[in-house]
Amino acid sequence: MKPVPTPGRTRDGVRQGLIVPIGGAEAKMRHRRILSKFVRACGSKDGRIAVIPTASEADDTGTRYETVFKEIGVAGVRVFPFATRDECDDEAEVEALKRADGVFMTGGNQLRLSTTLGGTRAAYALREMSANGVHIAGTSAGAGFLSEHMIAFGAEGASPRADMVTLAPGLGLTNTVIVDHHFRERDRLGRLLTAIGYNPFVVGLGLDEDTAAFIDPDGIVKVVGSGSVTVVDPSEVEFTSMDSAKQHDPICLVGIRVHYLIEGWAYNLGTREATPASALSAT
């Protein structure tokens, strides 16, 4: 098995592609700034985008995104249903997937993604593609699946509790963040804090609807969209009571840092600093 790439890792001098988790309900009709920015990164009209609707139970999800991307101006859009593990292991389909400049995974149920794609040729191909410069985005469930650590499901609420969240392995494009989506709309701060309490290593990204985090190979997160990204930084955590907590118990976290970032702001996953995005281009 090949090693899982992390942001900034290169292979033969090729920089990793963008990793773009989106909080769900991104604008598809007017003001499509998230999808339009993703399209530009993939080469605009000359780019080839693969749509993977595996997470969704709706039959028309893939074709709806195909239409949206074509309206934005992408000529080369193809839907890869990947509804079964056999389809995910189909050599011809996987080879066709590898020709994409960008991959977009739709919303739905993230466990449908992990149980269908996990361990298949398609999953290995996606990690290899990301490491070789292909940009990969996911919205809602697709966003949660992008990282190595995935929130499978959990309860709503602002305060962390021991039994508030269930974790599962994700796709593994990065091991530096854990993503939650529909964040403000579904009151998910508590479950993101709980997930971080298990192992205060990853940075939590809580994405509001119509809001995305464009993560570049240098570990710079740029916020795009109409909402905010809640950044939960555990690098200065002094204590967590997760190891002694019983079912339903509240969790104590001491030293956690939280930032609320809107469009025009950026966050450095290496230095753990938030800055205006304009300051990055000036340096």
Domains belonging to the chain, first-starting first, are 19-282 (3.40.50.880)
In the set 26, 66, 93, 209, the catalytic residue is 209
Active site residue 135: no
Per-residue exposure over 60-75, b if at least 16 CB sit within 10 Å of its own CB, e if not: ebbebbbebbeebebe
Tokens (6 digits) for 228 = 């905010």
- How many residues would you count in the chain? 283
In the set 140, 149, 181, 228, the catalytic residue is 140
Tokens (6 digits) for 213 = 């985090």
Q: Are strands 102-105 and 48-52 parallel, antiparallel or unpaired?
A: parallel
Global pTM? 0.95
Is residue 99 within 8 A of residue 47, CB to CB? The reply is: no
Q: Are strands 228-233 and 239-240 parallel, antiparallel or unpaired?
A: unpaired
The residue ranges of the chain whose pLDDT is under 70 are 1-12, 281-283
Q: What is the pLDDT of residue 6?
A: 46
Q: What is the pLDDT of residue 8?
A: 46
Active site residue 159: no
**Residue 191 host element (H or E):** helix 189-198
Tokens (6 digits) for 167 = 């974790």
Measured in degrees and rounded to the nearest 5, phi and psi for residue 218 equal -90, 5
Measured in degrees and rounded to the nearest 5, phi and psi for residue 127 equal -65, -40
Is residue 204 within 8 A of residue 270, CB to CB? The reply is: no
Residue type, 100: A
Q: Report how far residue 126's alpha carbon sits from residue 130's, in angstroms, rounded to the nearest whole number.
A: 6
Active site residue 182: yes
